[in-house]
Amino acid sequence: MAKLEQLKAMGINPFPYRFQRDSNTRQALDNFDQLVEKQAVLTMAGRIMTVRVMGKAAFFHFQDEFGPLQGYVKKDIIGEQLWTLFGLLDIGDIVGLTGTLFTTRTGEKTLNVSRFELLTKSLHPLPEKYHGLTDKEARYRQRYADLIVNPEVRETFRLRSKIIAAIREHLGREGFMEVETPILQPLYGGGSAEPFTTRHNKLDMNLYLRIADELYLKRLIVGGFDKVWEFCKDFRNEGMDRLHNPEFSMIELYQAYADYTDIMAMFENLLRSVVTTVFGKTEIVYEGNRIDFGPPFKRISMLDAIVAHGGPDLSDFDYDRAVKLAKDDGIDTTGLMIHGKVVEAFFEKYAEPQLISPTFIIDFPRDVSPLAKVHRANPKLVERFEVFIGGMECGNAFSELNDPIDQKQRFLDQGKVAEAGDVEAHRLDEDFIMALSYGMPPTGGLGFGIDRLVMLLTDSHSIRDVIFFPQMRPE
């Protein structure tokens, strides 16, 4: 603060308006030898991160978006006035620097500064230079400080951006149209979850923040668009843990005239393409496990997967027997009111944690999949798959149910589940039934969580590490 007054007294604006750069730290380092040879004069800008003053000269590190570079100022070169100004700078200040490149005695590539100016005065000290900012709470609450001092955090979010760009590019190449549908919905649907409720004053009605956009995208398929997708922010009013944030990102896509096997092939290609585009190879490491997107993904039915991982055979669809087996196995059967839920419980216990390599789990119980089409070979099942990678569920897809009569019945069945106490059961959406009754072509659809995909591809343990501003309680 005292320095701020001194600067003003010297006629220096601590918060000037703009600065013209012609280079950055990456260009300087990438073309270092040439630039040294030409004695090229570069102008760049960045934040001061460290300072080492030695009498009448000083070394410092500054960093821009691309990383750090050392700078060198010498009183003889920059003159009395700038040397005084340099003394008034702090770690954290943002400066514009002009100079030539050289290598120091200890071999570090350095900008020999001939001119500089203060671009923004920092009024709050940066976290410690050696340990950085390690307190997780502080890092989430003050992500800006986290980003300044922790380069790996910047890298994670840079990758997030690249991953999303690669997905968008791939879907564009495949002929999918990106669309936008309502976030505020009069009726929530398309998933099993509790919603956030909000209120429209003029309409005097409750609205819900969407838990999914599935039912709207299908309306667009009815309307005649054959391949649509949306990058959707969804909201679910549920618990928070390392895999769940109340506000999260999902991509849903729908393709007319396709079934779930087409979608499986499509999604496999998409993931392989994204990983290759972003990393230049098909293999990544997640939590110590090597995961290769190159080979064809494994495919196994949910019932078979349970058996294959040491669980019971539940293919007789006998609810009472399944519940008894579950109880004997120590599974908490509270809330497992239908056969499909018991199957899922067994699956989650036996199979899910083992599914490290990309695996399609196919053919789910019908009673837990109210928007999926009945399996063409077995009426107790639906044509649905989920993708598991690194033990995490990373996507969910169906041959979409397009029979309005069946769909209505499924909603009504869900109503019974709701009456039985399941707050997450689907609600009857009459307008959606109306849309289906106009005729929706055979359609395959897919939803996949962006945050979990980014976790996987950036080897992040918590969803909070891949969301810039995760939800926190007020301090």
Structural tokens at position 336: 């497992």
52 binds RNA (CB under 7 A): yes
- Distance from C-alpha of 62 to C-alpha of 148, rounded to nearest angstrom: 11
Site residues for RNA, window 189-218 (CB under 7 A)? 190-193, 212, 214
437 binds RNA (CB under 7 A): no
**Measured from the CB of residue 280, what is the shortest distance to RNA in angstroms?**
29
Count CB atoms within 10 A of the CB of residue 138.
13
Structural tokens at position 214: 């599935």
**Measured from the CB of residue 349, what is the shortest distance to RNA in angstroms?**
8
Length of the chain: 475
The 3-state secondary structure of 178-247 reads ECCCCCEECCCCCCCCCCEEEEECCCCEEEEECCCCHHHHHHHHHHCCCEEEEEEEEECCCCCECCECCE
Residue 79: half-sphere exposure toward Cβ, Cα within 13 Å: 5
Q: Out of 8, 38, 56, 416, which residue is the one contacting RNA (CB under 7 A)?
A: 56
DSSP structural state of residue 396 = E
**Measured from the CB of residue 73, what is the shortest distance to RNA in angstroms?**
9
The 3-state secondary structure of 343-363 reads HHHHHHHHCHHHCCCCEEEEE
Binding segment (CB under 7 A) for RNA, from list 113-121, 311-319, 400-408, 461-469 = 461-469
Q: How many residues bind RNA (CB under 7 A)?
A: 72
Binding mask 98-137 for RNA (x = CB under 7 A): ----x-xxxxx-x-------------xxxxxxxxxxxxxx
Q: Out of 4, 29, 82, 91, which residue is the one contacting RNA (CB under 7 A)?
A: 91
Are 410 and 401 within 8 A, CB to CB? yes
Nearer to RNA by Cβ, of 78 and 207: the residue is 78
5 binds RNA (CB under 7 A): no
Binding segment (CB under 7 A) for RNA, from list 222-230, 235-243, 289-297, 411-419 = 235-243
Are 445 and 253 within 8 A, CB to CB? yes
Q: Out of 391, 424, 433, 442, which residue is the one contacting RNA (CB under 7 A)?
A: 424
**Measured from the CB of residue 135, what is the shortest distance to RNA in angstroms?**
3
Binding mask 281-320 for RNA (x = CB under 7 A): ----------------------------------------
